[in-house]
Structure 1
Amino acid sequence: MSQRISAQRMSWGLLALSFLLLAFGLGVLALRSSQTGVTQSVLQPLAYLPWVAAVAAAAMFLQAMLLRCRVSPWLLPFSFFFASVGLVEIARLKPILFIPQLRWLLIGMTAFLVVLRCGRSIVELTSYQYMLGLSCLVLLALPLLFGTEIGGSRNWLVLGPVQVQPSEFSKILLVLFLSAYLADHEEVLTSEKHHFLLFRLPPLRFIAPLLCIWGMAILMFVVARDLGSALLFFGIAVFMTYMATGSRSYVFIALLVFVAAAAASYALFGHVRVRFDIWLNPWADPNGMAYQVVQSLFAFGSGGVWGTGFAHGHPGLIPEVHTDFIFAAIAEELGLIGSLTLLLGYAVFFLIGIRSALSGETMERILLSAGASVVFLLQAFIIMAGVTKFLPLTGITLPFVSYGGSSMVSSYLLLGLLAVLSQRKGGHAA
């Protein structure tokens, strides 16, 4: 009991720290604006303070409700810590997008509340596993048929004034489908009946859905030019399959398929060659196709250990810095210390989710919690690796931090699902 009360108090402290961080960042920007007259002057307190107050009130309400429902007290405070970092950076980099991001945060919290209210019904959707899998594939296919190319990737649907990225929501359906399918076929998938080269696998009909998911991820890479989402979906499928079966054969086969497909794509498609050539040697074209990567590396180099200081760097030199490259801006102005703090936050957030998964009552709930946790950590790793040139440049967002409505709403939908699954016995929905 005392440990739980202590955890609740510390979670309130993290929530308060998140909003102190936001207030401090906005104060620094206001002071900087008054001294230099730079573009931050478009941030008028009378315009954004009502939105900030609404976000703060919603956060406190949701946290109180979660504690009353005996849900993990850490999930929401960590998400607000990430969101506060993102809001401060967006106010610094693209002031005109600060209020829209606050709106998306409120919409995300509303989606989080809806999931909490309907959590049990959503979990019960896993009974319709093949409908979930089909819905996931349909969402992924929509941009290929009706999408608009933005930033070099055909992964957007333009609905009037709103731009929607279906892959952000299809990853939730993917986690639901895989958790249900893998739990339902655990015994068959772990049985070794057929030999394939050096591997021992069950009959093809039982692994066909997994091959379909892997194939769709590769198709996204080749046709939609969406390397980030392809790596994310592929990684989710591989991680969840391994967690369910413990079989390394699936991992090796998946890697072999991916490497073979990547090699074929490199040989057949020009845009794939360009992406990989930039990764291998961005200095061959620093002012052209590799400009973003080169500027990102310069940002990391100039940031050093301690950073140049908030609002004292030049992250605006990086195109689309408020979305794909926001981690580079954090590294430049907050340095290695700030970057590692954010990275450690995602790692702790992942461990909280895994701890929730280990306390699950059924294999399905265990896989669902673990899969949701993997999504956050894997997505953060892929984009961080992309901006540091550890992996080829990707086009996904840093969860809760980067600007984007689809990313924010889908992240809170997934967080709501994780919160429902972390609910202790004796708790009740709001």
Structure 2
Amino acid sequence: MTIVLLAYVAVGLGVNDTVPLDLLTHGGALLALTVGFHIVLRWRASYADPLMLPIASLLNGLGLVMIHRLDLAKGPESEMAGRQVMWSALAVVVAALVLVFLRDHRRLRRYTYTFMAAGLIFLLLPLVPGLGRQIYGARIWIGIGPLSFQPGEVAKILLAIFFAGYLVQTRDALSLVGRKILGFPLPRARDLGPILIAWIASLMVLVLERDLGSSLLFFGLFVAMLYVATERISWIAIGLGLFAGGAYLAYLLFDHVQQRVMFWLDPWSDAALAQSDQLVRGLMGMGAGGLLGTGLGQGHPYLTYFAESDFIVPSFAEELGLVGLFAILMLYGLLVERGLRTALGTRDGFGKLLATGLTFSIAMQLFVVVGGVTRVIPLTGLTTPFLSQGGSSLLANWAIVAILLRISDHARRPVPPAKPMATPPSGQAVVTS
């Protein structure tokens, strides 16, 4: 919280040359949220990992600071930071409720196929007439009055639980080796069904909802968990082959995929600039930041479209520089490392797969976002976990942290010593089988 408040002061000094008058009010609210969650964590999961909560709180707080900074640039009519504060409070409360009511993560395994059905429903909600909304070509939102929500964020958690429950039941069959091609062991043909279903489902998301990022995230999540469950590299090879084939097919069939590839290959071309200069503005902003950045409140990140959501990473890179951006990426790296360490320490197979899947979803989403804005891969439009504006993303990622904390509490909790066998009375024979 000290780092967040210092950043908040730096924004005030950089924009208005004054310390913000509401520093104590906002700082007290953030501190109350964090301390409240910490108390719930010590009450319900006292052995949980000690780094996940500080990292998530710091990332969330830095996101609030940058959104507030962009609010100041847009004028008093902009209220993005106020809405984000309310969503942050709601997300922390939801995460605390998850810790309170989910006493044992293994209970989730009982409802494996229920989570599958719920995940598919959430995934398809944007296609419901009158409920789904199409924004900038992608139909990934639902709207109820003035409120909008991205159900795919919830779907990734539900599907990760389903994948973990399904794979822990079938991993022995999926681990069997069929034929070898050029010395490379391949799974049996009858076992290819799950990965083909996941591939077709990801293509449906791409075709029907025109959402390249979510399609990549869901399919990558399943392939990664499949590899962890079976320890077969052949599944990775098959998954990469299916993804390459699906991506090429989508490029041939859909104009919006061709546009993304054009922006990726040459965003400065006349054809690309005639459609959008968003990526170019983000790249120029990062270039202006250089090594150490312009300083919080002293750059021009607001010149980039959607600087508070899709392009919040270039916003930080401009004002904090390459050093500041690497520090933020290191925080994500630590969060992913703690999640994977939790998976390694968990004593049940379901918990290992669930912790791995949830951690991979954060890592994969971050790679897709940062890779897109830096032209490593085509831009997809996903939000950066904890940093970007958006209530649905905050709710989902705080819920992921809560589940990981619950699993880590189980993994780090000492195993109770076995009770010694009762000594029979003198002269009484002991019968053993």
Shorter-chain TM-score bucket reads 0.7 to 0.9
Greater shift in the superposed pair: 50-59 or 168-177:
50-59
Q: Secondary structure of the equivalent of 2:291? A: coil
Q: Is the counterpart of residue 100 in structure 1 residue 75 in structure 2?
A: no
Indicate conservation of the 8 Å contact 1:63/1:73, yes or no.
no
Going from structure 1 to structure 2, the CA distance change for 1:215 and 1:49 (only over 3 Å counts) comes to farther
Structure 2 equivalent of residue 401 of structure 1: 387
Structure 2 counterpart SS, 1:402: coil
Q: How does 1:13-412 map to 2 (within 5 A)?
A: 19-35=1-17, 45=22, 50=25, 52-68=27-43, 69-95=46-72, 96-120=79-103, 123-146=106-129, 147-193=132-178, 200-204=186-190, 206-285=191-270, 287-412=273-398
Provide the aligned length of Structure 1 versus Structure 2. 401
Q: Which runs of 5+ in 1 are unaligned?
A: 1-18
Q: Give the alignment's TM-score, normalised by structure 1.
A: 0.88
| 1:98-126 residue CA offsets vs partner (Å, 9 max, x unmatched) | 12111111101111111101223664122
Question: Which residue is 1:13 aligned to?
Answer: none
Measure the CA separation in 1 of the matches of 2:275 and 2:229: 41
Q: Which residue of 2 aligns with 1:4?
A: none
Map Cα deviations across residues 3-53 of structure 1 (whole Å, 9 max, x no partner).
xxxxxxxxxxxxxxxx122222222333344349xxxx9x872xx854542
> Percent identity between the aligned chains?
33
Asked if the contact 1:266–1:273 (Cα under 8 Å) also holds between the matched residues in 2, the reply is yes
Query: What amino acid is aligned across from residue 425 of structure 1 in structure 2?
Result: R
TM-score by length of 2: 0.87
d(CA) in 2 for partners of 1:361, 1:134: 27
Moved over 6 A (4+): 195-198
RMSD of aligned Cα (Å): 2.2
2:420 match? none
* C-alpha spacing 1:55/1:172, structure 2 compared with 1 (3 Å): same
Residue 187 and residue 322 in structure 1: after superposition, are their counterparts in 2 closer, same or farther (change >3 A)?
same
Instruction: Find the residue that maps to 1:81 and give its secondary structure.
Output: helix
| Secondary structure of 1:277's aligned partner | helix
Which secondary structure does the structure 2 equivalent of 1:30 belong to? helix
Counterpart code for 2:29 = A
| Partner secondary structure for residue 125 of structure 1 | helix
Write the letter of the residue equivalent to 2:206: F
* Structure 1 equivalent of residue 428 of structure 2: none
Whether contact under 8 Å (2:105, 2:407) holds in the other structure is no
Question: Which structure features the higher share of helix residues?
Answer: 1
2:293 touches 2:322 (CA, 8 Å); kept in 1? Answer: yes
Shift of 1:219: 2.0
Match of 2:421 in 1: none
- Measured after TM superposition, the shift of residue 203 of structure 1 is 5.0
Relative distance call for 1:194 and 1:120 in structure 2 (3 A) is farther
**Equivalent in the alignment of 1:6:** none
Counterpart of 1:234, as a letter, is: F
